[in-house]
Chains A and B, each alone.
Chain A
Amino acid sequence: MSTKFSLEELELKANDIRQDIIKMLECAGSGHSAGPLGLADIFSALYFDVLKHNPAKPNWNQRDILLLSNGHCAPVLYATMAHAGYFDKKELLTLRKFNSRLQGHPERQRLPGLENTSGPLGCGLSQACGMALAMRMNKDKFRWIYVVMGDGEQDEGNIWEGAMLASKYKISNIICISDRNNIQIDGPTETVMPLEDLHAKWESFGWYVIEVDGNNIEAVIDACAMAKAVVEKPVMIIAHTVPGKGVDFMEYDFHWHGVPPNHEEAIKALHELRTLQGKIRSEHE
């Protein structure tokens, strides 16, 4: 993308993406709310600033790769892709419907611009490793591979197998972003299966670790820039996010991990997002 957006524009895009997530989930009648809302700032930063990509040419051979490892957060990926111009925003309301390209969990072959098929957790990083090693063998022009993964997902052993491999082969063009929102489907991560000390875990696996406020777009962009300056090591950005971010009654509540808003809740949520939780007046009032 050649256009550089201002921070304010990126924040507005994140808000628009959140509104679309609410509309999509309400229309679908099922799906995950908390994770996608919490990730909207990260996705706005990635698709409108960080990533080298071209929505008109999804298979461009010099694009950066973004792998969504926690496939249940598909709504934020789809909404952001639509805003970036990969497809018409009208299609967003087909999420989870029969014959839609927007499957409940992303299927690569259904929609141009998807790099992987995910949903079953823990597989994104290893696929990124395979891609990076293939690029190295191909002597490709240098490209970045971003992996967005959940925190609860890190209960999976496959993640740590990939972590060891990336470190062994000094795969420095992988930048992982952990959505550290502290919830998973059955409760707080530290109750279900404690992950802390997550920073020390990744560091001890040979990764360079950055911690950042994942709802601060500027901080996310800065962290990605810093990650690119690290050589010989893969980088893990632990992005602390608020699950359900932007919708007061969803924030921090793990019960919103895997359910959509109903019609009344959606109206309430959209009102909150349009008024920035009551801070401004909305034209929709």
Chain B
Amino acid sequence: MNESINIEDVDSGKIISEPMKIGYSRGLAEAGRKNENVVAVSSDVAGSTGTEAFAKEFPERFIEVGVAEQNLVTVGSGLAAMGKMPFVAAYGAFSPGRNWEQIRTTICLNDRPVKIVGTHVGLSDAPDGATHQMLEDIALMRVLPNMTVIAPCDSIEAAKATIALANYNHPAYMRIARDDTPIITTPKTAFQIGKAYVWAEGKDITIISTGRMTYHALQAAEKLYKDGIDLEVIHCPTIKPLDAVTILHSVKKTGLVITAEEAQINGGLGGVVSELLGEEHPVPIKRIGMRDHFGESGSPEELFEHFGLTANHICLAAHEMISKYKKEEK
């Protein structure tokens, strides 16, 4: 296991959790203190997205546009045109859910460094139901030229990603979950835009996971090790541009791949990795994530169980792949 991550606590179940917006909030305020051009825009969701602390510390650098997500990003584009580094945060279902074309034309084609933060993504807005559970955002954002897509795994990484994005002069989208998320990284854990990280070395199967699913992948790796399956865990916080070097290096070793994401596998990380491997190094792949379904109301645990996103589901997929493709060897 990689020493810079908090895997001991994952094993023991004593892990501390907090919402990623706390990390975003810390990162934004820190970026704001370092760079006076960092500004924030909100569409009536400053409290629930973590923008509030910045707004209180820098009221003159905060803009409230009301419940108007098209305005949110186009105002962001205008701010960036005059040298600002705008962070525009809203529920992912509404931004980039509602304002995709404005993002395409006024931010991506225009190459303005607006930072779009989608909160409450995946199944994390569990009780609110399908309308609020943003599962298509990775697919929507990754197809846009000039766009970078980031999905941190916990609040510490969300803070690091926010600070990195404040120094990044192109458009980017960052997705963060709503509810308490286990903290598996430490202040020392490496984070760089465009890099994937091998957090557990293994030889039998590579699992490439993003966002909160990395926690489940690490749990699965522990369980599988006891079953005699050696899982290599790659945490992939940058979905675009994909770190093809790290992924291909691992896949050439293991020959089997699982992807895991709290999003639609169609066009999501599963799609991204399949496209890479299809062109560069075709191997069997199993995609864990939402399989062309909408979510529904419930608790996060119930939804993860129902839609097949738990560590147990990852273990099952790994066993199936081993028995199907590597039985003779085992």
Contacts and interface: CB of A to CB of B under 8 A. Distances in A.
Interface of A: 107-109, 115-120, 122-123, 126-135, 137-138, 140, 157-158, 161-162, 164-165, 169
B10 interface: no
B60 A137 contact: yes
Given A117-B106, A118-B105, A158-B102, A131 B74 contact: no
B79 A164 contact: no
Contacts of B86: 130
B105 A158 contact: no
Interface of B: 39, 60-61, 63, 65-66, 68, 70-71, 74-84, 86, 101-102, 104-106, 109-111
Contacts of A122: 70
B81 A123 contact: no
14 contacts: A109-B110, A123-B70, A123-B106, A126-B71, A126-B78, A127-B75, A131-B79, A134-B39, A137-B39, A138-B83, A161-B68, A162-B74, A164-B68, A169-B63
A134 to B, nearest CB: 3
Nearest to A67: B78
Given A107-B109, A116-B110, A133-B75, A138 B82 contact: yes
A130 B61 contact: no
Given A126-B74, A130-B75, 8 more contacts: A129-B78, A130-B80, A130-B81, A134-B78, A134-B83, A137-B61, A158-B74, A164-B68
Nearest to B110: A117
Nearest to A125: B74
Contacts of A140: 82
A161 B70 contact: yes
A129 B104 CA distance: 19
A19 B293 CA distance: 56
A164 B72 CA distance: 12
4 shortest interchain CB distances as A-B pairs: A130-B78, A134-B82, A126-B74, A161-B71
A50 B78 CA distance: 22
Contact of B111 (A109, A158, A162): A109
Nearest to B76: A130
Main secondary structure of the interface of B (DSSP, over half): helix
Contacts of B110: 108-109, 116-117
A157 B68 CA distance: 9
Contacts of B65: 161, 165
Contacts of B60: 137
A134 B37 CA distance: 9
A126 B83 CA distance: 16
A131 B74 CA distance: 10
Nearest to B73: A126
A249 B102 CA distance: 36
B112 to A, nearest CB: 9
A16 B77 CA distance: 34
B78 A131 contact: yes
A169 B105 CA distance: 25
B71 A131 contact: no
Contacts of B102: 120, 123, 158
B82 A123 contact: no
Contact of B81 (A115, A118, A158): A115
Contact of A127 (B39, B66, B77, B101): B77
B122 to A, nearest CB: 28
Nearest to B99: A158
A116 B81 contact: yes
Contacts of A115: 81
Nearest to B71: A161
Contacts of B111: 109
Given A120-B105, A130-B78, A137-B39, A158 B71 contact: yes
B81 A134 contact: yes
A117 B75 contact: no
A119 B70 contact: no
Nearest to A158: B70
Nearest to B58: A137
B178 to A, nearest CB: 25
A157 B82 contact: no
Nearest to A133: B63
Nearest to A132: B78
A130 B79 CA distance: 4
Nearest to B108: A117
Nearest to A163: B71
B60 to A, nearest CB: 6
Nearest to B66: A164
A157 B77 CA distance: 17
A109 to B, nearest CB: 6
Contacts of A133: 63, 75, 78-79
A126 B65 CA distance: 10
Contacts of B109: 107, 117
